[in-house]
Amino acid sequence: MIDASLKPVLDTLQIQNILPHRYPFLLVDRILELEPMKRIVGIKNVTINEPFFAGHFPGHPVMPGVLILEAMAQTGGLMLAETENNLQGKIVYFTGIDRAKFRRPVIPGDQLRFEVDMVKYRHAICKMDGKAFVGGNQVCEAALSATLIDP
């Protein structure tokens, strides 16, 4: 578990100043570590109040894998945003995913920890490797790509 007394690198309000996502689609609660151009670590607290649990699945709530990947991509997008110091007027777009694997279900009460490493960065296009953990157990991994665009 994460030590709640540690000050995050980015809190929810700072994340909202960087990403355009809002409820119910902002899927990163805080950033614990950030090395621009290298690595980022983010947290998502999963609660039963998430709107997707109403239909996925009644009586057996499981976080959809596509939303785990989206949260991982948002975490990577924050790294890309911090790498590009001047994001005025730019939006980070998730452009691809490869080698996605899901290891175990994510359920209410879990805390997802995303670890995303930059693999390649050139001309506002990046490739990243991401992993998601609950406790010490890996629940998901994927190769992600993203780019910066003018809206």
The conformation of residue 56, written as its DSSP 8-state character, comes to S
CA distance 129 to 145: 9
By CB atoms closer than 10 A (0-12, 13-18, 19+), residue 21 is middle
Residue ranges in the chain assigned as alpha helix (H) = 12-18, 65-83
Distance separating alpha carbons of residues 149 and 87, to the nearest angstrom = 10
Number of Cβ within a 10 Å radius of residue 63: 23
CA distance 90 to 107: 34
Q: Is 60 a catalytic residue?
A: no
The catalytic site residues sit at 56
